[in-house]
Amino acid sequence: MNSLDAIRQLLPSWFVWLPSVVYLVLIALVVVLSIQMGLYLTLRAYHKEAPEHWADRARLLHPARMLAASSPFWLAVFLSIPSFLFVSPLHPMPAGLFTTLVFVVAYGVGFRQFHRLDQRLRGQHLSMWQRLKYTLSFLMVMYPHILIAIFLGLFLMTREQNGQWFGFVVWGTVGMLVAISGASLWLLRWAGALLPAPTSLQNVVTRSSQQTNVHPHSVWVLPSTMSNAFALPFSHQLLFTQPMLEQLSDKELEAITAHELSHLSESWKVRLVRMGLGLVFGAWFMVVPFWVWREEYGFILLSALGLFVIALVGNTLFRSMEEQADEAGQEQEGEEGVYARALEKIYQYNLMPAVTGRKSVHPDLYDRMTHAGVEPSFPKPKPPSFRAMWGARVLGLVLAFGFLVGFYTSLSFAFPKNQYWQTAALAFSPRVELPLRRLSWFARKQKDLPQAALYSQAAMELSGYRSYYIYSHLWLLLRMKQCAPSKVLWRRYSVPLHQWMIQYNWEKSYGYLRRRVRNCKP
């Protein structure tokens, strides 16, 4: 039995659950406070103007909705990394398991804030679990390769980079290729998250396919909170969300279907670029945890800049594909303005701004409508202002960073004379040797020298045999008349101990210690 196992047997029963519960509660409070402060900043303009038209409401609400949708994930990642890097070897849970628990709690609490906001703004009546299921289904449809890369990256994070490591990377790449090719849809269908298309939708797709001469292999309905349609070029399948079927007429659905069928007819070069970009981003998410573990932050920064440049190039190509698909939707609309009205209904239902002010993959709704020859029923709105959103994000990260610094600093340096605090600090302290040293001091004060030696030995081992801890443990062994281990420790570390004591002008103490070791008798 090593010293850590022996210490685990000495720890009180509350050590197994109380520190972890308190930490998770604090994490939840930090996430709630960060998001609520951000929402207060981003919703001020909306409450001040109180607009009536949906385009103005969407413009003013977009920053708050973007903040609430993205904050749960980024805060969960930001708060989980220290839990993995600094968790103590004496923590009752393995580092990976506890980090996963921290991520789940942080994301779950943050997702609930987003759920409450979206429910209040859009008047939807569904449970948080339904929204979470719909969100996971959407990620499985659009980004299954990223999910595979993240999970595999966390699995490989702490493993040695050898042949087996590269084998996992190769199989992970194969898994991403299979997922991009449409395998995730079969998993969703097996789980009941993907429904067969009703007869009315099949008839709409059939009519549109006959006009465009593009025939999808299958058509599915995806339960969702958003109104949208997706084309999957690699598996040649179409997906429509349930709200879209409920709000659009058959003529409007035909125009939207023609838009999506245009994506299925893309050239093999465009498909190759789509797959290549998907694999590049997936590989980045797979390798980043490995670089984080080895503190290769330069590689992370350079690769992120490279991905940003690649994304800009891909964005230009994909925008041209969207413009081409818009033209296909206009050509197949039958009546003039049907396609534009369908787009307006989709944007209105999703509360998406008509003008974004950014050159994203999809053109702005206002430009799409005017290009289709339809004059919008509202004046061209201003783009959303994202200053409050970015300020709220920075404020949230500062708050989370302040909590982490305060928490881990207090574990190492606060209440040095409180035995209960030092015991709890064993679970999380990034320098666990400090509370171990103080617990050793408490044991000496209580005349329990064997327990003091146990804490002292563990502190010495976890500090990497730093000279101070060797010196302290050596004196404790001599006091206990443990001559054999004292002499072994002296033979191994007398030279670095001598150099350390010279720095503090402790040469006389070194000589006295040497004599005590040599003359030690059990």
Mean pLDDT for the stretch of residues 357-372: 86
Whether this prediction's pTM lies above 0.75 is answered by: yes
Q: How far apart are CA 266 and CA 277, in angstroms?
A: 16
Confidence of residue 408 (pLDDT cuts 50, 70, 90): confident
Give 196-213 pLDDT, tens digit per residue. 999 999 999 999 999 888
Q: What is the mean pLDDT of the chain?
A: 87
Alpha helix locations (H) across 50-162?
A: 54-86, 95-122, 128-142, 144-156
Q: What residues contact residue 208 under an 8 Å CB cut-off, 6+ apart?
A: 254, 257, 258, 261, 332
The secondary element (H helix, E strand) that includes residue 453 is: helix 449-462
Integer CA distances (angstroms), 247 to 149, 209, 244, 250, 322, in order: 36, 22, 5, 10, 22
Q: pLDDT tens, 124-172?
A: 788 888 888 999 999 999 899 888 988 888 787 777 778 888 888 889 8
**Tokens (6 digits) for 404:** 């982490």
Single-letter code of the amino acid located at 304: A
Residue 183: DSSP 8-state:
I
Coil, strand, or helix at residue 218?
Answer: strand
According to DSSP, the β-strands at 218-222 and 195-196 are antiparallel
Residues 6+ apart with CB under 8 A from 221: 194, 195, 196, 197, 198, 201, 239, 240, 241, 242, 245
Quick: pLDDT tens for 464-509.
888 888 888 888 888 888 888 888 888 888 888 888 888 888 888 8
**484-491 long-range Cβ contacts below 8 angstroms, 24+ apart:** 484/522, 486/517, 486/520, 487/517, 487/520, 490/514, 490/517
SS3 readout for 393-449: HHHHHHHHHHHHHHHHHHHHHCCCCCHHHHHHHCCCCCCCHHHHHHHHHHHHHCCCH
d(CA 361, CA 111): 26
Please report where in the chains the tokens 């982490």 appear, as a residue: 404
Pick the residue with more confidence: 445 or 201?
A: 201
C-alpha span between 102 and 106 (Å, rounded): 6
Q: How confident is the model at residue 220 (pLDDT cuts 50, 70, 90)?
A: very high
Helices (H), 239-352: 242-247, 250-264, 268-293, 297-331, 338-350
87 burial (CB, 10 Å; 0-12 / 13-18 / 19+) is: buried
Does an H or E element contain 231, and which?
Answer: strand 229-232
Dihedral of CA 176/182/184/186: which sign? negative
Tens of pLDDT along 65-101? 999 999 999 999 889 888 877 788 888 888 778 888 9
Distance CA 401, CA 209 (A): 54
